[in-house]
A and B are shown apart, each in its own frame.
Chain A
Amino acid sequence: IAGITQAPTSQILAAGRRMTLRCTQDMRHNAMYWYRQDLGLGLRLIHYSNTAGTTGKGEVPDGYSVSRANTDDFPLTLASAVPSQTSVYFCASSDPGEDGYTFGSGTRLTVV
C-alpha cells in the first residue's frame, strides 16, 4: 500500500541523547515535511525539503536537523534531546498536481 512509513511508532529517550526519526515514502513525491503536534498548538512545521538534495527551515527548526539524500527518505535528527521536544512527530509528503499532503502515522517521542 502506497504511503508514508514512520519509525519508531513511539520512543522514550533520555535527555541529552541523540535520536533519528525515520520517514520513508513510496509515492515518489518531490516534497517532504516534518511537523510536530502539541496539545492546543496544532501542527507546526520543523523542516521541509522541496526535492532531493535540498532542505529548508520551518517555524520551529531549533534543535532539529534533516537530510534528503534521495527522494524516498527524509530522516529527522535530534542531536541532543531536551524535554521540550516531547511531542508527536508527523512526516508528510506532497507533489505537484496532487491535493494536499499525505501524512504518516506519527512518532510519539517522550524525552525524560
Chain B
Amino acid sequence: GENVEQHPSTLSVQEGDSAVIKCTYSDSASNYFPWYKQELGKGPQLIIDIRSNVGEKKDQRIAVTLNKTAKHFSLHITETQPEDSAVYFCAASRGYSSASKIIFGSGTRLSIRP
C-alpha cells in the first residue's frame, strides 16, 4: 500500500521568511496530492492540492511542486505570517474522487517567530 513520509516534523521560521515542507510517496499509481492545515483544536482543512498532470500550482503565498519521477512533492509558504502557525499534513491517493482513500504523512508543526 501507499506510504507517505513527511519532513521535517517541526519547523520554526522568522515571520516574513519562507517555509518548505517535503514529502515522498511510495505508490507510483498515486495521482492526487492534497495538503491540509490543522489549527489547534480543529480538524484538518484542505489548503491546496496538485494532480499528477501538473508540476506546480500556486495560490497566493502557498505553492506546491510535484516530481513524479522522484515521487516527491513539496509545500512552499512565502512571506510567512503568524496565522500560518499550524500543523501541516501532506497526503497522497490514487484519485481525487470519492472512495479514493487518502494516506497522510505524519505532519509538520510550523511555528512562525515574530
Contacts and interface: CB of A to CB of B under 8 A. Distances in A.
Interface of A: 4, 29-31, 33, 35, 40-45, 48, 50-51, 58-59, 90, 92, 94-101, 103-106
Nearest to A41: B106
A3 to B, nearest CB: 9
Contacts, number: 65
Contact of A99 (B1, B96, B101, B103): B96
Interface in B38-92: 41-46, 49, 89
A31 B99 CA distance: 6
A97 B97 contact: yes
A63 B43 CA distance: 23
Contacts of B97: 94, 96-97
Contact of B89 (A43, A48, A59, A97): A43
Contact of A33 (B1, B49, B101): B101
B98 A31 contact: yes
B43 A104 contact: yes
Contacts of B45: 103
Contacts of A40: 9, 106-107
Given A101-B102, A103-B44, A105-B43, A42 B36 contact: no
Say which size band chain B's interface belongs to: 20 to 34
A106 B89 contact: no
A97 B107 CA distance: 26
Given A31-B98, A40-B9, A43-B89, A100 B103 contact: no
B45 to A, nearest CB: 7
Contacts of A45: 101, 103
Contacts of A90: 43-44
Given A31-B99, A100-B34, 20 more contacts: A4-B43, A31-B98, A40-B9, A40-B106, A40-B107, A42-B89, A42-B107, A43-B44, A43-B89, A44-B104, A45-B103, A50-B99, A51-B99, A90-B43, A94-B98, A97-B97, A99-B46, A99-B49, A104-B43, A106-B43
